[in-house]
Structure 1
Amino acid sequence: MATLTDVERIATGLPEVTMRPAWGMRMWRVRDRGFVWERPLNGTDRAALGDAAPDGELAAVRVQDEPTTRELLAAYPDRFLTIPHFGNSPVLLIRLEAIDTEHLREMIVDAWLDRAPKRLAAAYLAEHPDD
């Protein structure tokens, strides 16, 4: 089980990450490009999800593309969800209580790699070939 504290620890452990609030919630960015953020459900989200709306902590994370979003939702419906607000955006909500920190780290690192400048991402991968 992961927490928002784990999200913060993993995100801030990556190169050139800053935290700047967006929409009143913490968002972690690499060179001002958001890759993971707090995202509690609002009333509209809860109405759209109905009984499927989770109660625990959530984080939103960028993914590579919309097909990846669909694949992850199909493979891990207990860990990930989406909301109408995201439309076809490559963004998923992570049910933090349903994901272990290793998988959470993988998701955050992948999001960081997707949003980081190519040279910065390449330098990181050279230093961390297992990521």
Structure 2
Amino acid sequence: MPHVTVVHGSGENPVYQVGGRSFVFFRNPRPDAVDPGTGERYPDVIVFWVESEADKQALVQDGTSPFFTTAHFDGHPSVLVRACRLGELTRGELAEVVQDAWLSRASKRRAAAWLSSRSAP
């Protein structure tokens, strides 16, 4: 994706940004994302921005989907996924989630230019 920079957040986890705005980041283990059986905090949660609440719900409403959310993210335009479950997605599905995250945070000008370049012959 164009204009992407990587900064490091707390715990030195990578935070992917476009125009200084995060669109994907790796979380530190937090008390809101835990294994329901053991209570252990998930060590591998990745956050992807989404365009809207409808987009978020489309990803998290299916209980078999690897995407989820927590009360901490209520009202926040993002979904969570554990890195250990990324293999449940096809490469194309994962690429679409990353691209949609980038588009949701890129400036209108950058988004339009990138979309235009992809449709050009």
The interval holding the TM-score normalised by the smaller chain is 0.7 to 0.9
Matches within 5 A, 1:1-131: 14-24=1-11, 25-46=13-34, 50-51=36-37, 57-75=44-62, 77-95=64-82, 96-129=86-119
Give TM-score, length-normalised by structure 2: 0.80
Distance 2:27 2:60 in 1: 17
Q: Is the 8 A contact 1:56 1:97 kept in 2?
A: no
Deviation string, structure 1 residues 8-52 (Cα, Å, up to 9, x no partner): xxxxxx111000122332110001000011125423421xx6239
AA partner of residue 39 (structure 1): R
Distance 2:52 2:99 in 1: 15
Give the number of the structure whose residues are more often strand, by fraction. Answer: 2
Q: Is the 8 A contact 2:32 2:70 kept in 1?
A: no
- What is the Cα-based RMSD across aligned positions, in Å? 2.5
Higher Cα Rg, which structure: 2
Asked which structure has the greater RCO (Cα within 8 Å, sep 6+), the reply is: 1
Q: What 5-or-longer segments of structure 2 have no aligned partner?
A: none
Give TM-score, length-normalised by structure 1: 0.74
AA partner of residue 118 (structure 1): K
1:44–1:112 distance in 2 versus 1, CA, 3 Å: closer
